[in-house]
Amino acid sequence: MRKRMMALTMAVMMAATSTGCSSDGAKGTDADLKVKVASEDGGKEEGGESTWPQGETLTIVVPFKAGGSADLMVRGILPYWEETAGCTFVVENREGASTMVGSVYYQTLPADGTNIYCGTQTYLSGNQVLQGATYDISDFDLINMQQIDPTTITVLDTSPYNTIEDLVKAIQDNPGKMKVGLTAGGAGSILLGILTEAFNLDYKTIYYDSGNDFRTALMGGHVDFITGSANGDMGLGDQAKVLAVCGSDRNAIWPDTPSFDEVYPDLKIPGSLGSCRLFAVQKGVKENYPDRYQTLVDTYKEAFENPEYQKFLESSGELAVSAFRGPEESNELNLQLHELVVQYQDWLKEE
């Protein structure tokens, strides 16, 4: 196993340092970056730090394929963020190895504020804890934990299972036969671990690179159920049934679906167990370019609170899982989720 992990880490490092193509024509080499040259008068940059990043091109690295929930969150806010920041954003999708390819690659980029990361916990911590990623969780300084999208158990609309109890019983009655689709290292693995331990479940696990992939597998009948997310499962429309949602209260997106606390209160499944999608920069940005870091936070906040963007979030169903929490609260949440991954790491391993 140790040799396998070392080989995976080396493969990811090689992929991360290779030149890639962005879905929006993003930069592939450091030479393409627009980095301002510091002047001699106390480090103030040419053109004036107060105007940064006006006229710049900033890259957002997304460690998922285009079309996934995190990717859609990025592309939804970008028009508003470009307006408040006075710059151009490009999106670079670097999927692979449960987000490890993109996450490791991001840390190789210049920490000057021109590169932003949009990823998802618990994958980010899973890369470090389970896959030997070379970064530390503290190397990411959050701008905002924008979405806390609680984990779901979801089946096709044509499925014979109408409740989570129906599904659990079917798994118990057919040991080793039913198949679940998920992404390794995600919150869905923790939820499955809790249910498996509580009900002695035996099923086949099929791993996919993204939520978009395992939802496609569900639609194609390749798996019997998935561990999805409240907002992410909206893309399935009326072709799927959400049987239960993490949390103590019913989720506004699926008001007719019971929460896990309603059905299994003794399991005490945390409501924060879900796809927690975040915007962050490298630690060095705040340390070495504090004004730039604050500008990114302020312009992002202004974009997030734009009434037109709020209407967009409402129409897309994302408003129920979105909030501006700010850097302090977001970084605390990030560390709490990291501790959760450390606690349940055995359930997160791909077997």
How many independent structural domains does the chain possess?
2
* pLDDT attached to residue 41: 33
Model confidence at 200: pLDDT above 50 = yes
pLDDT at 212: 85
More confident residue, 22 or 81: 81
For residue 157, give its domain range: 151-267
Same domain, residue pair 156 and 145 = no
Contacts for 334 with CB less than 8 Å, ≥ 6 apart: 121, 124, 137, 140, 142, 145, 276, 278
Choose the final residue of a domain: 210, 243, 267.
Answer: 267
Give the domain-ending residue among 267, 298, 323.
267
Q: What single string gives the DSSP state of each residue in 297-333?
A: HHHHHHHHT-HHHHHHHHHHT-GGGB---HHHHHHHH
**Is 21 in the same domain as 166?**
no
Q: Name the average pLDDT for the chain.
A: 86
Q: Check whether residue 167 and residue 241 sit in a common domain.
A: yes
Boundary-marking domain end, from 234, 267, 300: 267
**CB contact at 8 A, 93 and 124:** no
Q: Is the pLDDT of residue 344 over 70?
A: yes
Task: Answer yes or no: do 163 and 257 share one domain.
Answer: yes
CATH of the domain at 15: 3.40.190.150
pLDDT in tens, 69-78: 899 999 999 9
| Average pLDDT of span 169-196 | 93
DSSP result, 193-261: HHHHHHHT---EEEE-SSHHHHHHHHHTTSSSEEEEETTGGGGGGGGEEEEEESSSS--TTSTTSPBHH
Same domain? 133 vs 93? yes
CATH number of the domain bearing residue 216: 3.40.190.10
Q: Are residues 11 and 68 in the same domain?
A: yes
Q: What is the pLDDT of residues 10-49, one digit of tens each?
A: 444 444 444 333 334 344 433 333 333 333 333 334 445 6
Residue 17: the pLDDT is 43
Q: Could you identify the residue written with the tokens 């679940």?
A: 180
**pLDDT attached to residue 21:** 36
**Residue 228 confidence (pLDDT):** 94
Which pLDDT score, from 0 to 100, does residue 287 have? 94
Confidence of residue 68 (pLDDT cuts 50, 70, 90): confident
From first CA to last CA, the distance across the chain in angstroms is 11
pTM score, whole prediction: 0.75
Instruction: Tell me if residue 295 falls in helix, strand or coil.
Output: helix
Are both 135 and 18 inside the same structural domain? yes
